[in-house]
Amino acid sequence: MRNAAAFGVPHLQLVQGSAPSALEGLTRPDAVFIGGGATVAGVMESVRSALRPGGRLVVNAVTLESESILLRCKAQWGGSLTHIAISRADPIGGDTARLSGWRPSMPVIQWAWVKP
């Protein structure tokens, strides 16, 4: 909650849990982030329907299966897709190496959508 206050959103309510059960009893959310679990049957539909009009859904995917779901969501409902790839410099050639190279992390596909 310190970050929420520091970034100007002191009334931010964070809810951690699994959809759709984590949405039960809550007011309609302004935004939902799915950082894993897009492959769980019914999750995307339940979260989309729970959002208030103008609400934002952001989903990150690292597996081919979840990426496939995000491609279908984009085709069916619109929104935007972003491919995020990060590499870090690491030594090459063992512990005594004086050379470095880029070691890629797993890329992330992100789908962002705003409910009409």
Domain containing residue 74: 12-114
Residue 88 confidence class, pLDDT cut points 50, 70, 90: very high
Q: Which pTM was predicted?
A: 0.82
Is 32 inside any structural domain?
A: yes
Q: What is the mean pLDDT of residues 42-64?
A: 94
Q: What is the pLDDT of residue 31?
A: 92
Domain count, the chain: 1
For residue range 24-33, list pLDDT tens digits in order.
Answer: 888 898 999 9
For residue range 5-19, list pLDDT tens digits in order.
Answer: 888 887 787 778 777
Amino acid identity for residue 20 in this structure: P
Q: Before 20, cis peptide (omega within 30)? A: yes
CATH number, domain with residue 48: 3.40.50.150
Residues pairing with 78 in the sheet? none
